Amino acid sequence: MTTLATRPAATAAPPPRAGARGPRVRRTLYWIATHAVAVALSVMFLGPLVFVALTALMTDDQALTGDLWPDTWNWGNFVEVFTRSPLLTWLANTFMYAGLGTAFMLLSSIPVAYALARFRFRGRRLAFLAVITMMMLPPQVVAVPVYLIWARLGLTDSLWPLILPMLLGDAFSIFLLRQFLVTIPREYTEAARVDGCSDFWTLIKVILPMARPAIAAVALFQFFYCWNDYYGPLLYTQTEQNNWTLSLGIASFRALHSVQWNLTMAATLLVMAPVIIVFFFAQRVFIEGVTLTGVKG
């Protein structure tokens, strides 16, 4: 009588331990709870940029319709923007305005901030109060008399009335730089004077290297202000199209091509791109400068 060979029973998999996935789930839920506000704010800020980028790649018939995704990717819209408007001329004017304005502001504001932070002289607090007062003065208040001065000098219809005043300093930049410079210990400047450095070379060799974050912060503030300035170019260069900046040129481009929203969005994206790139590479030193620039008397 034959006997059937008994096959060994398959070993059952061990049951999952209770609570083995508990820590991983808790960490995931904790990360979601911690970053939920940041994710929501990121979607809110990036949503309009994504909308502009997608609209810039649509056709004229599809733009501003119910479609959120382009049927065809029209990269030629960016080329057509340059053929429809002197965008390169506006870009060059904007770089000249922002670059020279930022350089002139640093050249004039750093010595004033250094004097208010380090020197002891009669009327120092009154001068600092005057700087704060100028921060509160709207530019529209003095627009008419200042415009008459530049008109008599024959510099209207150009960007020089916006660039040359930067040689006289900027109140906001002076305030921020002064607030940072007072946090630098005086032992550094006193040691430099013991070594024979004058006030000028102490500023150049000691103060400026230590104040690089604050200088970068005020430089970016000024560059972004000049890049986005619309009121100044409108006031001084409205009748001279060859001296328009991007902000003024894009406003006129939107008026001329308001029906073609795909071209308007493409031009807007081209204007925003340089500023986004500059801030992306300089955000670390910019945030550091703003953080270290505290309010100190």
pLDDT at 288: 65
Does one domain contain both 39 and 138? no
Average pLDDT (116-126) is 86
Average pLDDT (213-223) is 89
- Could you report the per-residue pLDDT of 205-215, keeping only the tens digit for each? 888 888 888 89
Q: How many domains does one find in the chain?
A: 2
Q: Is the pLDDT of residue 23 over 60?
A: yes
- Residues spanned by the domain of 116: 86-292
What average pLDDT does the structure give for the chain?
A: 82
User: pLDDT above 90 covers what percent of the chain?
Assistant: 22
CATH number at residue 185: 1.10.3720.10
Lowest mean pLDDT segment, chosen from 1-5, 94-98, 288-292 = 1-5
Residue 14 lies in a domain: no
Does one domain contain both 152 and 129? yes
Residue 22 lies in a domain: no
Does one domain contain both 44 and 147? no
pLDDT at 2: 47
Average pLDDT (169-178) is 90
Q: What is the pTM of this model?
A: 0.78
pLDDT at 21: 62
Q: Give the sign of the dihedral formed by CA 215, CA 221, CA 223, CA 225.
A: negative
Question: Angle at which helices 212-228 and 261-292 pack, to 10 degrees?
Answer: 160
pLDDT band, residue 226 (cuts 50/70/90): very high
Residue 153 lies in a domain: yes
Compute the CA torsion angle 78, 82, 88, 93 (nearest 10 deg): -90
Q: Is the pLDDT of residue 6 over 70?
A: no
pLDDT band, residue 119 (cuts 50/70/90): confident
Does one domain contain both 54 and 170? no
Residue 249 lies in a domain: yes
pLDDT at 270: 87
pLDDT band, residue 297 (cuts 50/70/90): very low
Does one domain contain both 217 and 186? yes
pLDDT at 291: 61
Does one domain contain both 94 and 133? yes
Residue 164 lies in a domain: yes
- Could you report the per-residue pLDDT of 33-43, keeping only the tens digit for each? 788 888 888 88
